[in-house]
Amino acid sequence: MLNGLMGEYGGLILGSIGIFFAVALSGAGSAKGVGMAGEAAAGVVIDEPEKFGKSLVLQLLPGTQGLYGFVIGLFILFRLSADTPINTGFMYMASGAVIGLAGLISAIAQGKVSVAGINILAKNEEQQAKGIIFAVMVELYAILAFAISFFILFRA
């Protein structure tokens, strides 16, 4: 039965797994990263509410990986159909896996760097831009993964 299902709908199944990888993994990483940074920001804002806006910037940064995964997931979804060939479905799965895994890891790493940036904000507000730069450096790898996922997707 599984052979028949994979034979008939293999591309659709693999493409659907790609959507899962892209959205779920990058979304989970972003949730973790944004959550860590939010905890740190709440600690600062409780004593210095005027730093809310500046801490919010650092909290939002790890959320971008989830957006990259969501976009790739949508692109896969819009290209997927019941008659998608299995080799194309495999490429869709690979595309989703690249952004999903990179998004998961980089969002958590960026959340940790954002926490450090919030600590900079708490101790020396004038140096906050350095904390943002540190966090943005992690973003580069999510952007590279997004680009490769995009090229894999449209190569299929």
pLDDT tens sequence for the chain (156 residues): 556 666 789 999 999 999 999 999 999 999 999 999 999 999 999 999 999 999 999 999 999 999 999 999 999 999 999 999 999 999 999 999 999 999 999 999 999 999 999 999 999 999 999 999 999 999 999 999 999 999 999 887
* Integer Cα distance of 36 and 59 in angstroms: 8
The torsion angle over the Cα atoms of residues 77, 80, 86 and 91, rounded to 10 degrees, is -50
pLDDT at 136: 95
Q: Is 121:44 a contact under the CB 8 Å cutoff?
A: yes
Give the pair of three-digit tokens for residue 109: 């790493």
The pLDDT of residue 4: 66
Task: Give residue 8's pLDDT.
Answer: 81
Taking the C-alpha atoms of residue 69 and residue 81, their distance in angstroms, rounded to an integer, is 20
Whether the full predicted model's pTM is greater than 0.85, yes or no, is yes
Q: What is the pLDDT of residue 69?
A: 98
Q: Count the neighbouring beta carbons within 10 Å of the beta carbon of residue 138.
A: 22
Cα–chain center distance at 51: 26
Residue 83 is predicted with a pLDDT of: 94
